[in-house]
Amino acid sequence: LNIVEGKMQYLYDEQGKRYLDCFGGIVTVSCGHCHPDIVKAVQEQTKLLQHTTTIYLHHAIVEFAEALASKMPGNLKVVYFVNSGTEANELAMLMARLYSGNLGMVALRNGYHGGSAGTIGLTGLQTWKYPIPQGEIHHVMNPDPYRGAFGSDAAAYAREVEEHINFGSSGRVGGFIAETFQGVGGTVELAPGYLKSVYDTVRKAGGVCIADEVQSGFGRTGSNYWGFQTQDVIPDIVTMAKGIGNGLPLGAVVTTPEIASVMAQKIQFNTFGGNPVCSAGGLAVLKVLDKEKRQAHCADIGAHLVERLKSLQQKHEIIGDVRGRGLMLGVELVTDRTEKTPAKAETAVLFEKLKGNSPHSLPP
């Protein structure tokens, strides 16, 4: 599929055929393709100054950082800008290890945190992992209400984390990282109450708690601005990317002044992270999300979509599960509902059928 143009929720191929983008540019386009407010902000900044770095002062970087920090709870007030979610998670892992003085990181099976040499270790999906050293990473059971060994029993999964730290490590860890909603792993919402128990356990073991909001942030869940708020916790470090820039190469790490202080041991620097153009675009994204009430929109449209999908589930045995909230939704296809056997071939066919059934007659 050769995509050549995008307008809000629609994409166009080289033949002019229009597609409804239900994937949001890999969960990235939070405001719509080529949103006029964001395009204008990027164009205006590009005319003035395309590039400088965070070692120099520039008002666009400061304004964006302040606006982003205002969206965070607790003492999450220090912002570092990077270029992607992978870079954000790399920096978060570095911070956790430096601050705690421990190397071991705990991550979830089925989680995805990036494809760099460091974050590939955190990632818990075989299809994305190359055979290289993982580097002091412990993968614990996935608190998946649909496929997990303990169903929705958050306490049982949390006990497994505690046991793993007690028996599979020195008893001290650097940190724990988890997506609130596992995106690449199939839009899996963690068992309710899981993070509250695990965060407590990890902090007692000397570690810091990292929330990966790369896919679930910026109101996508509808019920909350950040995915971790659905679990009623405040992390020590939050990573974000994708929806933060609506397609611009932009990511961020937000943490507390105490944790950030460890970075002063050396020079923390990123050539392109927080450049003026991306900062201007990122600030425009935050303004659009608020002005157009995108979080409420996600809640409204998501509720309608879930209702219709669950109606289809009643009619079609192949739909094993419908899950998520807001516009962070997943549909899992199975050949056997009891065994939950993945319907791989059927899913591939459905993808092609959906791609082909996008008529020109859709209303603009």
Q: Residue 145 maps to which CATH number?
A: 3.40.640.10
Does residue 351 sit within a domain? no
- pLDDT score recorded for residue 159: 98
What average pLDDT does the chain have?
94
Which value, to the nearest 10 degrees, does the dihedral of the CA atoms of residues 258, 264, 265, 266 take?
A: 150
Q: CA-CA distance, 161 to 168, in Å (whole number)? A: 10
Confidence of residue 357 (pLDDT cuts 50, 70, 90): low
Bridge pairing between strands 237-240 and 251-255: antiparallel
Does residue 283 sit within a domain? yes
Longest dimension (CA), the chain: 62
> Which residues form the domain of 178?
42-292
Q: Which two tokens stand for residue 254?
A: 């937000």
Does residue 299 sit within a domain? no
Does residue 228 sit within a domain? yes
Instruction: Spell 24-56 as b/e; 16+ CB within 10 A means b.
Output: bbebbbbbbbebebbeebbeebeeeeeeeebee
Q: CA-CA distance, 364 to 362, in Å (whole number)? A: 6
Mean pLDDT (whole number) for 78-102:
97
Does residue 348 sit within a domain? no
Does residue 337 sit within a domain? no
Res 361 pLDDT > 80: no
Q: How far is CA 28 from CA 35, 58, 193, in A?
A: 13, 26, 27
Confidence of residue 267 (pLDDT cuts 50, 70, 90): confident
Put simply, whether the predicted model's pTM sits higher than 0.85 gets the answer yes
Does residue 267 sit within a domain? yes
Does residue 317 sit within a domain? no
Structural domains of the chain, count:
1
